[in-house]
Amino acid sequence: MTAAELAALRRAYPRVFGLAPWERARRASVAVLALAVLGVACWRVAPTAEAFWAGVGRIGFLVGFMFPPSAGGALGALLHELAETLAMAFLGTWLAAVLALPLGFLGARNVLRVALLHFGLRRILDGLRGVDSLIWALIFVAAVGMGPFAGILALAVPDTGTLAKLFAEAIENADRRQVEAVRAAGGASILEARFGLLPQVLPVMLGHVLYFFESNVRSASILGVVGAGGIGLALSERIRINNWDEVGFLILLILATVGVIDGISGRARRAIIRA
Amino acid sequence: MTAAAPVTPAISRFAERFAAHRSAKRRQTGLFLLLFSGAFVASVIIGEVDLARLAARLPNIAAYVARTLPTLRAETLWHDLSEWFWGLDLWLEMLADTVLMAIVGTVAGSTLALLLCFDAAANLARSRAEHFLARRLLDALRSVPELVFALIFVFAFGPGPFAGVIALALHAAGALGKFFAEVVENIAPGPVEAISAVGGGRLEAIRFGVVPQVLPDFLSYVLLRFEINVRAASVLGVVGAGGIGEELYLVVRQFIYSDISAIVLLILATVALIDVGCERLRAHH
């Protein structure tokens, strides 16, 4: 094929050789716009040069001070706060799951057939999970006082929203034929739910709950920063008073705990899915 | 019903196995319930859950929420609304900063994740040691909550959005790197082998063999992370790392009730807006 033939083909079928000019212009303008937004964003958050270099120097120095990590002679107290963190995550997840179960049933389109109620419930659930657990912690600490109880509520509220949504989806996606089979065999509606619906949705729900427990262990470890119980208070105090070896110890402690919980919970989730 | 069928050896074998299976299942459930109730009781004790105190304090929560709601009267609705949202200009600016922090944090975190994910994928790592080290680094970045990073970076760089952005970026790099590596491990090996067969190096194999396969998945994970980062950025201000969280923490501590509800509603609206936008972008591609 000669260059002239190629040029003729290109004229005859421009779309085969590339995007239409307007499509190219559209893509270029989207790219320029995205870069402009990123540029503005970088400019808004960028520190001054001297603040940046001073900060880099300070990080080098404090990472150096983190080694060797040390419990600072308060190992017992720290372990108790770690246990409190796990207890908060456990009870927060449990409370969210218990609250989400009826809400999930109501939120499923095939259970609650009134569109307006369905829409309203979904928006309320969205609202619960749109606010981070730390904001809920701020509010609950102000309302019920400092301590792990505020933390449990702060973890449970946004998770109730998300879990209810996931539960509703699991129920919507369940196979109706198994329910119908129980009904055809003469089962009452409670038996329909027990033998037709529950075996299908329970593994999915348990999987979600375990996943939220893992994520809540992480969240619970920082709620102490605002006084809602757990190991976060110890961490923020040690950072404030510059005890970097203890900060290093606490971070390693959190990392190890999260790792162990993730491992156990991950195995349990895989076992549930296989069963 | 006719007379019962005779019990053949096959049927009795089945009945035995069914009974054995059933009792094994029951033992498993019993063990699980025992472990669960043990953990529950331990958590209740350690978490200092006290039902009497709970009952006494529950009304406080309702009262607190009620106090944050402004009084809106139909005849002076506009005036009441503008009084409720009196700080709208300042709050919108802080919200814009929050979103911009999430943007920079997500972009920086995705870049770092992109650099690490090919080493962390079993099929593209050059050695087992490289694979192991990259995975552990991503695990460590992912396991440290943003707020812990933020506490440290606020100490290093001083209060302000930069500390928050670095905190978001590091945590996002860990979380995204893990997802990216899993996507890379699931690619079809053909294109990579084809590039190697015609003499391409590792970089060319990644650029032309891997990236075209994984880019759509990567982008949808990045968008999801952006949504998460907007939520996370809204609270980083609690430790002084920039964004609307600083103002929220201030009004909560000073008990300026109507401002609390106004700011929380603005955060909710922003998060919902971003979620809907990202949803549309995802549906588009």
A134-190 pLDDT, tens digit each: 988 988 888 888 888 889 999 999 999 989 988 988 888 888 888 889 889 988 878
Cβ pair B49:A152 closer than 8 A:
yes
Tell me the residues of chain B between 224 and 263 that have a Cβ less than 8 Å away from chain A. Answer: 231-232, 234-235, 238-239, 242, 245, 248-249, 252, 255, 260
Cβ pair A139:B252 closer than 8 A:
yes
pLDDT at A46 over 90: no
> What CA–CA distance (Å, rounded) separates B121 from A233?
37
Angle at the Cα of A228 from the Cα atoms of A223 and A232, rounded to 5 degrees = 40
Q: Which residues contact B258 (CB under 8 A, 6 or more apart)?
A: B68, B69, B70, B84
pLDDT in tens, A99-116: 998 888 887 766 656 777
CA–chain centroid gap for B140, Å, is 16
pLDDT at B259 over 60: yes
pLDDT, residue B2, reads: 57
pLDDT in tens, A204-234: 888 889 989 988 998 999 999 888 888 989 8
Chain B CB within 8 Å of residue A65 CB? no
Token output for B186: 């699931």
> What CA–CA distance (Å, rounded) separates B115 from B126?
14
pLDDT bin (cut points 50, 70, 90) of residue B3 is: low
Token output for A97: 């799951």
Give ipTM to 2 decimals: 0.80
Residue A207 CB coordination number (10 Å): 18
Tokens 């994520």, residue located: A215
Number of H helices, E strands in chain B: 12, 0
Q: Name chain B contacts of A149, Cβ cutoff 8 Å.
A: 47-50, 53-54, 57
Q: Name chain A contacts of B231, Cβ cutoff 8 Å.
A: 130, 132
Mean pLDDT of B182-194: 89
In contact, B106 and B172? CB cutoff 8 Å? yes
pLDDT, residue B222, reads: 93
Cβ pair B57:A145 closer than 8 A:
yes
> What CA–CA distance (Å, rounded) separates A148 from B214?
43
pLDDT, residue B226, reads: 93
Q: What is the pTM of this model?
A: 0.83
Cβ pair B49:A142 closer than 8 A:
no
pLDDT, residue A92, reads: 94
Chain B CB within 8 Å of residue A77 CB? no
Mean pLDDT of chain A: 86
pLDDT bin (cut points 50, 70, 90) of residue A94 is: very high
> What CA–CA distance (Å, rounded) separates A163 from A125?
9
Please state, for a pLDDT cut of 90, what percent of chain A lies above it.
Answer: 19
> What CA–CA distance (Å, rounded) separates A145 from A139?
10
Mean pLDDT of B120-148: 88
3-class SS shares of chain A: helix, strand, coil, % to 5:
85, 0, 15
- Which of A82-96, B65-79, B104-118 is least confident? B65-79
Q: Name chain B contacts of A132, Cβ cutoff 8 Å.
A: 231-232, 234-235
